[in-house]
Structure 1
Amino acid sequence: MVNSAKTPTGKAKKGQVTVRPDSGGIKACFPRSYFADGKQIKLGTGINPDDWEATAAKLQRRLQLELEEGKLSTDEGIFNLGRYQEILEEYGLRAKLRLVRDAAISTTDEIPPKPQLSLMEVWDMYCEYRKSGLRESVYCRVYQGQYKNYLESAIEATKSEDALKIRNWLIENRHLKLVKQVLSNLSKAHQLGIKNKLLTHNPYDGLSDEITTKGAKGKTQNEVETDNDVLDQSKAYTWNEVQVILDFVKDKYPLWHGFFKFKFLTGCRTGEAIAFMWSDVEWNKERILIRRTYDYATKKFYPLKNDKSYKGELIRKFPMPKDGELWNLLKSIPQGEDNEVVFKSKGGKIINHAVFRNRYSGNESSRIKGIIPQLIEQGKLTKYLSPYNTRHSFITHAVFDLGIDEKIVSKWCGHNIDVSNKHYQDVAVFAERVNPEVPQQTELDILKEQLRQQQEQMQKQQELINKLLAERETK
């Protein structure tokens, strides 16, 4: 074993170079302790993954020696990429070099070869490849919409197609969960190009590995439809705050009042509210049906996703008690044909998802003052929650304020619950009998009511007995 080098203080530096399989290739990993910025460096070696161990062992020993002798770092403690290239050439290797972490590198160091295709050409090729395996709405809205917009924005902002610059700009300016997904797909796109002999290297290999998904600090996040935290009351407006929002909308934006109230009263998703039709209203059964969603990218209707939360059922049945708030809301809207949507835009068309979001949140570039920001400015609300949190607000109100069983609320809203199929069906039957607008009785309330009914029945029986005895005495 090679002895560790000494630092100026006389202490041995810790950490060894390793050469090992990583993300489909053989990479050299250098310990943080040898470099001034304290960042780990991981680089491709060009070693054949099918027969790597012997060559990797030799290269590892050589790199460790060079590192301890100070030949792999400059006087400033910066990794010497040029020297690393020279060592690989001595071993007859050509690496597809990539720094996994943004280690400082001199501008005079060598850089990976320029790709044969532009970044957007690589992306379009990849999207075409993925198209047949994706739902149409996902392909248009996410891959050709959101992801592509991220890349175009990054290229325009950095005036570059350099992978690290693209990565760093995205991290600083966009939602990290989506950034991680974009970078991961970019890596797959380049691998596809290499497989088809259109590209020779993958500069995005591993760039998403160490990204967390908490979101860019201080950045406004788009509506993300997730039900992982529907019972988190900090992510919901109180029902008093909901009334404040609805009163404000009714006064200032009456056209939007019905749409906002419907979302708060049912907990449905925005696309489901946009797609709600008159054929989904069953007056005689005092219920509504949630059975489709509208995708703003493809401008098409789709059935509800058949995921585990529905146990195979694609239609959700939501109670609408006669003369209740939901009943009266729908009665106040002029009824159209069965195939017409209930809530329409000012021009009588299907509501545009982006227009709703701008009305709710605001849009600085269009000088639109959002409803929620205005209420915060007036001191009537204390926090901003995304349009999707109208759903959270209904669910937490139903569960915590009205005492409705979470499994019933799950059935109404179609979010995930962990119960057996039989229990789920039992809940489904019971859910249609529960009023979503009034508090539910506790077990103590139920026992008190049963006792009252028993006492009332006993009193009637006693009165009947007394009457019969009285009639007998008169005879």
Structure 2
Amino acid sequence: MREIKPVNNNGSIQLKFSLGGKRYGFNPLPGGHYEDKRDLAIAQAIATKIQNDILSGHFDPTLDRYRLVPKATLNTQPKTLLELWDIWVKTLELPTATEANHYKWVRRMITKASPGITDTDWITKVDIAPRTFKDRLGLIKACCKWGVSKGYLETNPYESIKLPKDKPKEIKPFTQEEIKLILEGFDKLAPHYSPFVRFLMATGVRTSEAIGLLWEHVDFHRSEIIIKESLSKDLTGNGYRRVRKETKTGNIRYLPMSLELQALLIFLRPPKVNPDSLVFTSPQGCIIDADNFRCRQWTKVLKAQGIPYRKPYTTRHTMISHAIDQGIPITGVAYLAGHKDTSMIIKNYGHMINRPSLPSLPI
């Protein structure tokens, strides 16, 4: 059996080992740091105990025997929400990618406000979207509920916080004239990205889906594009690395190619097609960095063409809005957009569906 040793897990300590075909991995000292010699020595002692228990036949597969209380609770009672949050998150033993997503943003929000452990005024002043507020408040409530169970709090101060009203988003898709100006601008100022922008406008796919499109997903015989994957940001990385994932909703959809879109892709297709190659790349042949594209190319073109700034994601709103305007049934629009049902289309674009005319009156 291999010796069990503590490993560095983004600064924290983790023990990983296999036994009887089952893999185990856990943080023996929540709140401990790999760079702290004392914490590392404690973790190594726990690792040795596990190894001895395995050899003697006394191993506890639940791992409860080997877990310590969070480090922060050994010496002090948490006095701030941030201290309570850090203790709670460590006990969850979250996958790295999960902790780097919503939990990271909540921690940033708490750090910026620096509230006391029972102070709630700060959260009512946070300027974020209602949906985001709901998600983050839910995590803070769960944290404080845990705090009550551990005796850190008498009651959950966030239980009575009310959610803000969900104001409908004002969607401003590009008009036909704006689309024409944008494409002309890219032809002149950033011609390499012109096919990429044309594809976004024509299909309404998510930016990460277009960035991750492979030639094997373009079927010229059936005249359709298969949207089944995306190249999304690696939240655990440095912001530039991307990872291949399924689409946001997990759906696979088949988009029929118009003659214009087919001609565009035929123009881009190399003489010898590698099915695993990206359709759209940077001028250097690398993965397109969405933030770099937005800052250096997209913003420049819109400004030069005199178009009020909207994010590149507006190309998605544009396709959906024009599809509704042209009478495509909402079930079809939802499919093209990659939604599981029509609820999101109705919620965000309902004001455009079957819009009535004012009655004719003798004015």
Does residue 302 in structure 1 map to residue 249 in structure 2? no
Match of 1:409 among 333, 342, 347: 333
Alignment of 1:179-218 (within 5 A): 179-197=133-151, 199-201=152-154, 204-206=157-159, 208-214=161-167
C-alpha distance in structure 1 between counterparts of 2:148 and 2:197, whole Å: 49
Q: Which residue of 1 aligns with 2:102?
A: 142
C-alpha distance in structure 1 between counterparts of 2:101 and 2:293, whole Å: 17
Give the structure with higher Rg (CA).
1
C-alpha distance in structure 2 between counterparts of 1:354 and 1:170, whole Å: 25
Write out per-residue CA displacement over residues 245-292 of structure 1, whole angstroms, 9 at most, x where no aligned residue. Answer: 122122212233222211111111112112111111111111110001
Alignment of 1:402-441 (within 5 A): 403-417=327-341
Query: Is this contact kept in 2: 1:296–1:353, CA < 8 A?
Result: no
C-alpha distance in structure 2 between counterparts of 1:115 and 1:280, whole Å: 56
Give the secondary-structure state (helix, strand or coil) at the position aligned to 2:78. coil
Q: Which residue of 2 aligns with 1:333?
A: 268
> Structure 1 residues 117, 354: CA separation in 2 closer, same or farther (over 3 Å shift)?
farther
Query: Is this contact kept in 2: 1:280–1:290, CA < 8 A?
Result: yes
Query: Is this contact kept in 1: 2:190–2:297, CA < 8 A?
Result: no
> Structure 1 residues 249, 348: CA separation in 2 closer, same or farther (over 3 Å shift)?
same
1:293: Cα distance to partner? 1.8
Q: Which residue of 2 aligns with 1:222?
A: none
> Structure 1 residues 406, 178: CA separation in 2 closer, same or farther (over 3 Å shift)?
closer
Question: What's the RMSD between the two structures over aligned residues?
Answer: 3.5
Query: Is this contact kept in 1: 2:189–2:301, CA < 8 A?
Result: no
Query: Is this contact kept in 1: 2:204–2:318, CA < 8 A?
Result: yes
Does residue 166 in structure 1 map to residue 109 in structure 2? no
> Structure 1 residues 304, 177: CA separation in 2 closer, same or farther (over 3 Å shift)?
closer
> Structure 1 residues 306, 415: CA separation in 2 closer, same or farther (over 3 Å shift)?
closer
Q: Which residue of 2 aligns with 1:268?
A: 205
Query: Is this contact kept in 2: 1:239–1:393, CA < 8 A?
Result: no
C-alpha distance in structure 2 between counterparts of 1:302 and 1:240, whole Å: 35
Q: TM-score, normalised by structure 1?
A: 0.47
Match of 2:325 among 387, 397, 400: 400
Write out per-residue CA displacement over residues 164-213 of structure 1, whole angstroms, 9 at most, x where no aligned residue. Answer: 45325424xx444423432332121121233234x224664136414334
Give the secondary-structure state (helix, strand or coil) at the position aligned to 2:245. strand
Q: Which residue of 1 aligns with 2:81?
A: 119
Q: Which residue of 2 aligns with 1:350?
A: 287
Aligned length: 260
1:334: Cα distance to partner? 4.8
Alignment of 1:21-420 (within 5 A): 116=78, 118-128=80-90, 139-144=99-104, 146-155=105-114, 163-164=119-120, 166-171=122-127, 174-197=128-151, 199-201=152-154, 204-206=157-159, 208-214=161-167, 235-298=172-235, 299-305=242-248, 314-321=251-258, 324-335=259-270, 337-359=274-296, 369=299, 371-372=301-302, 374=303, 380-381=306-307, 383-401=308-326, 403-417=327-341
Q: Aligned partner of 2:78: which letter? A: Q
1:239: Cα distance to partner? 2.4
C-alpha distance in structure 2 between counterparts of 1:318 and 1:280, whole Å: 10
Query: Is this contact kept in 2: 1:287–1:319, CA < 8 A?
Result: yes
C-alpha distance in structure 1 between counterparts of 2:295 and 2:106, whole Å: 20
Query: Is this contact kept in 1: 2:230–2:244, CA < 8 A?
Result: yes
C-alpha distance in structure 2 between counterparts of 1:297 and 1:208, whole Å: 33
Q: Which moved more, 1:234-243 or 1:268-277?
A: 234-243
Q: Aligned partner of 1:195: which letter? A: S
Give the secondary-structure state (helix, strand or coil) at the position aligned to 1:411. helix
C-alpha distance in structure 1 between counterparts of 2:197 and 2:97, whole Å: 24
1:129: Cα distance to partner? 5.5
Query: Is this contact kept in 2: 1:183–1:204, CA < 8 A?
Result: no
Query: Is this contact kept in 1: 2:102–2:136, CA < 8 A?
Result: no
Structure with higher RCO (Cα < 8 A, 6+ apart): 2
Write out per-residue CA displacement over residues 98-122 of structure 1, whole angstroms, 9 at most, x where no aligned residue. Answer: xxxxxxxxxxxxxxxx961653343
Q: How much identity, in percent, do the aligned residues show?
A: 24
Query: Is this contact kept in 2: 1:186–1:204, CA < 8 A?
Result: no
1:123: Cα distance to partner? 3.0
For structure 2, the 5+ residue unaligned runs are 1-75, 236-241, 344-363
Give the secondary-structure state (helix, strand or coil) at the position aligned to 1:398. helix
